[in-house]
Amino acid sequence: MHLSDQEIERRKNLERLRELGIDPYPPEAYPVSHYAADIVANYEEEVLEDGTKNRLNFQEVCLAGRIMARREAGKALFMNLQDSSGKIQLYLRRDELATTNEAGETDYSFFDEVIKKLLDLGDIIGVKGYAFKTKTGEVTVRVQELKLLAKALRPLPVVKVDAEGKVHDAFSDPELRYRMRYVDLIVNPGVKEVFIKRTKMINAIRQFLNERGGFEVETPVLQPIPGGAAARPFITHHNALDVPFYLRIANELYLKRLIVGGFDWVYEFSRNFRNEGMDRTHNPEFTILEFYVAYKDYFWMMETTEQLLERAAVATTGSTEVQVGDNVISFKAPFERVPILEAIERYSGIDISGMDEAGLREVCEKLDIEVAPSMGKGKLIDKIFGEVAEHNFIQPTFITDYPVEMSPLTKRHRSKPGLVERFELICNGKEIANAYTELNDPIDQRERFEEQVRLMERGDDEAMYIDHDFLRAMEYGMPPMSGIGFGIDRLAMLFTNQDSIQEVLFFPQMRPEKFD
């Protein structure tokens, strides 16, 4: 393993600490009592008549974190300590950190050698002391006791901000940031805020569902049939059973089984896997929220979706108005509703309603849209919509009433022959949710699955398999219901104003790294 000069020097410091009897990785718990942001935000003091200051709170604090900066000031030392809440300044005086040796003499070696020479930026320390304000008004901890908790053997990137607020030597290369997210989180404070907002969003959605009677469940990740969506699966092998299994592409068919079993409203935040391309809005491993509610239809689901997203926007950002790039997107209900064929005609000038596969292929050729021979009517229409219309819908818009060929799990439209009761929610030019009035006719469902098999035989590797057990469950009687799937990662992108899915995933998928 090749080591840099700094890494070699840090390992020497590590050995010297051990020679001095200091464990650089002590096993004991450290009694943290306060956090940096709490001390900075809530420190109080009063100035007495004689000009002295009286601390009103934080008489003694104990905190732990990482050394992010240091500077000497005569016989004292200033450090910046960063914990999970933020940063705070430390003030360390040589005389206050001295000890007395066996001969009764004052010993300054801990300050002079350990603190000044053997501690490095990035080391994790624990300190005890009291809070005060410096002459410049900065809340600071005057350190009375210091303990090394973990020695850092690699130097952190040194990100500097000048007096004008300009950032220098930023740790900004996307590949390095995603590959070493732990460093990204340390040196780029704004990154943590993205993930805090993501969790607030998920918590708000979960609370919304629970308040309305939703029941959270878990369904299998390893599945014998990759059902519930049109996608290419990852394939693995179960050694004990000696059969292939698939990482789930969707949890839909298992949640519907639970509705058959008697639950009225089930939901799951599901980690799904699709063996497809990667780009700024796609990662092969992603999070979907799906929920299914008995005795409801897609009209009810549209209203519920509006309420859910309005609630999530406020909980995450404090407002229903969300800045996304150059656009301000309003999640205030109601959202516009546009049938998909009307949307295509609006932006292409072509009415494709009633066209057969040959006619749709002619339209694709006219519009210079590249399509594969294996594509049936459903995929051709989906491709046309994606190329000519989807990117135009910036405000949340329900695209409704899809052709039946596009939706093998959806109930036929109650009043529009050839269509189904389905909507996709498009926002900022991308799909963020997909919902149906669910098909509960087992005979119709079997025929739709068989059509998917015919598409698979034509070479469509995203066509659905026949799930015979799911059909059997339907034959016991599946209540009418509506269901929806939300792309949680894409929602997080919107609510945190990020233009790449990798920015809202702690550890996005990347090509494996080669080590020496």
Whole-model pTM: value is 0.90
Give the position of tokens 């952190």: 156
Instruction: Please give the C-alpha separations between residue 83 and each of 45, 143, 196, 316, 416, in angstroms, as whole numbers.
Output: 24, 16, 15, 23, 59
Amino acid identity of residue 170, one-letter, is: A
Classify domain 193-219+248-335+395-504 at the CATH topology level.
Answer: BirA Bifunctional Protein; domain 2 (3.30.930)
> What mean pLDDT do residues 27-41 have?
97
Residue 467: is its pLDDT beyond 80?
A: yes
From residue 268, alpha-carbon distances to 56, 83, 220, 308, 362 in Å are 48, 33, 11, 15, 41
Phi, psi of 464 (to 5 degrees): -80, 145
Q: Where are the domains of the chain?
A: 5-156, 193-219+248-335+395-504
The whole-angstrom separation of Cα 502 and Cα 283 is 8
User: Which of these ranges, 12-26, 35-49, 204-218, 452-466, has the smallest mean pLDDT?
Assistant: 452-466
Q: Residue 303: how many CB atoms within 10 A of its CB?
A: 13
Question: From CA 425, how far away is CA 432, in angstroms rounded?
Answer: 6
pLDDT digits (tens, 9 = 90+) for 232-254: 999 999 999 999 999 999 999 99
> Cα separations (Å) of 214 from 202, 211, 294, 309?
14, 7, 11, 16
User: How much is the average pLDDT of 166-175?
Assistant: 82
Number of H helices, E strands in the chain: 14, 24
The percent of residues in the chain predicted with pLDDT above 70, rounded, is 99
Which CATH number is 5-156's, of 3.40.630.40, 2.40.50.140, 2.160.10.10, 3.30.930.10? 2.40.50.140
Mean pLDDT to the nearest integer, 199-211: 98
**Ranges assigned E (strand) in 354-508:** 397-400, 422-427, 430-437, 481-487
Asked if 466 and 450 count as a contact pair (C-beta separation under 8 A), the reply is yes
Query: Among 443, 487, 497, 413, which residue's Cα sits nearest to residue 197?
Result: 497
CB atoms within 10 A of CB 234: 16
Q: Check if the beta carbon of residue 78 is closer than 8 Å to that of residue 94.
A: no
How far is it, in rounded angstroms, from Cα 493 to Cα 216?
A: 24
Largest CA distance in the chain: 99
Helix ranges restricted to H, 86-225: 109, 174-179, 181-187, 189-211
12 Cβ neighbours under 8 A, 6+ residues apart: none
Residue 161 has pLDDT above 90, yes or no: no
Task: Report residue 63 as tokens.
Answer: 């905190």
- Residue 64 contacts residue 127 (beta carbons within 8 Å): yes
Any idea what DSSP says for residue 197?
A: H
Residue 168 pLDDT class (50, 70, 90 cuts): low
pLDDT tens per residue across span 21-32: 999 999 999 999
**Least confident among 46-50, 168-172, 211-215, 225-229:** 168-172
Q: Residue 295 — left, alpha, or beta (φ > 0 → left; ψ -120 to 50 → alpha)?
A: left
On whether the CB atoms of residues 405 and 389 are closer than 8 A, the answer is no
User: Taking the CB of residue 298, how many other CB atoms lie within 10 A of it?
Assistant: 24
How far is residue 426's CA from residue 2's CA, in Å, rounded to a whole number? Answer: 50
Mean pLDDT, the chain, rounded, equals 94
Q: Is pLDDT of 359 > 70? A: yes
Q: How far apart, in whole angstroms, are the C-alpha atoms of residue 107 and residue 265?
A: 69
Amino acid letter, 484: I
